[in-house]
A and B are shown apart, each in its own frame.
Chain A
Amino acid sequence: MNKNAEIRELVMVRLSTFPSDKKICIGKYGELSREDMIKHVSNEDEIGKKIIEIELAYLRALKEGIVS
């Protein structure tokens, strides 16, 4: 599995714990449920890439101790 595929898998696992009774609004991409987000990440489309970007930014913040 290449690095991008690994990251995608990791993000999909993380998203599986997103609250099922909530939705997320990501600007122009509209409202998304947990299942929608997982599908977009899996499809590697524009929305999926944005979701991965959000996740990676958070992981970097954790690593750098900005969020702890």
Chain B
Amino acid sequence: MFLITRPRHDDILHYLFVWSTELIDLALKKGKKVVDLSDNKANKERVAGILDKTPIRFVMFNGHGDDNLVMGHRDEELIKSPGNEKLLRDKIVYCRSCNSAKKLGPDSVISGADAFIGYDSEFVFVYEAKSITKPLDDKTAALFLTPTNTLVSSIIKGNTVKFSYEKSQELFRQNINKLLGSATSDEDRELIRYLYWDYSHQIYHGEDEAKY
């Protein structure tokens, strides 16, 4: 089973919410059972209850985060270390949030999570202000969000954590190289530093060969 949280109480999370839709569609197409905790359903009580009582194998958190926690609707703390990180035992976890791979990631693995993928600093992305109502049409945001979605879709397709992570890293590199090309405007070239930031701070802990 695949559990995904999609709070949407600000513009950043709205983008992640919309960009996650294709991942839910893919999981369903692959015959996976999906628990989609969107908006106010992305709360601690529901998340903890489902992780505790349901055979979830893969968890994707979209939300704000910090070194030792990941948040949900209205920035409620969903998983925190020390605290309830043991709920991630035997699971593959991807946190599309800031900082959580710094402490929550390794602590979760010590507490039994098979793998934890995330960012050990801020997760950054640039978007086109005019596209706020149509995030999927935003080619700038796509440079940042496609590599992260690819990581998740690769896991859903049954690839290992290591393979999926490397695929995501490769896409970040490709997008950086694309912007380094001579056809890129000086303004768009400014985006490289932010892509490089996400690329260099995306890490994972746990088993290379863990699979969904």
Q: What separation, in Å, do the CA atoms of A27 and B191 have in the docked complex?
A: 16
Q: What separation, in Å, do the CA atoms of A19 and B139 have in the docked complex?
A: 14
Q: What separation, in Å, do the CA atoms of A31 and B124 have in the docked complex?
A: 10
Q: What separation, in Å, do the CA atoms of A62 and B38 have in the docked complex?
A: 40
Nearest B-chain residue to A20, judged by Cβ: B187
Check A18/B196 contact, CB under 8 A, given A25-B124, A25-B125, A25-B127: no
Identify which of residues 177-212 in chain B touch chain A, using a CB-to-CB cut-off of 8 Å: 180, 186-188, 190-194, 196-197, 200
- Return the contact of B64 from the options A18, A19, A28 (Cβ within 8 A): A28
The verdict on A40 contacting chain B, using a C-beta distance below 8 Å, is no
- Return the contact of A23 from the options B122, B129, B176 (Cβ within 8 A): B129
Cβ of B129: which chain A residues have Cβ within 8 Å of it?
21-23, 33
Cβ of B45: which chain A residues have Cβ within 8 Å of it?
none
Which of A28, A29, A50 counts the most chain B CB atoms within 10 A? Answer: A28
Check A61/B12 contact, CB under 8 A, given A19-B188, A22-B129, A67-B180: no
Cβ of B122: which chain A residues have Cβ within 8 Å of it?
26-29, 50
The verdict on B53 contacting chain A, using a C-beta distance below 8 Å, is no
Cβ of A58: which chain B residues have Cβ within 8 Å of it?
192-193, 196-197
Shortest beta-carbon distance, B172 to chain A, in Å? 11
Cβ of A14: which chain B residues have Cβ within 8 Å of it?
190
Q: What separation, in Å, do the CA atoms of A14 and B180 have in the docked complex?
A: 16
Cβ of A30: which chain B residues have Cβ within 8 Å of it?
10, 12
The verdict on A7 contacting chain B, using a C-beta distance below 8 Å, is no
A-B contact sample (8 more), CB < 8 A, given A27-B99, A54-B194, A54-B197: A21-B128, A22-B127, A24-B126, A25-B126, A30-B10, A31-B12, A66-B196, A67-B176
In the complex, 15 of the A-B residue pairs with CB atoms within 8 angstroms, ordered by the A residue number, are A17-B190, A18-B190, A19-B188, A20-B187, A22-B127, A24-B127, A26-B122, A27-B124, A28-B122, A33-B129, A54-B124, A54-B194, A54-B197, A57-B200, A67-B176
Interface residues of B (CB under 8 A from A): 10-12, 15, 64-66, 97-99, 122-130, 140, 176, 180, 186-188, 190-194, 196-197, 200
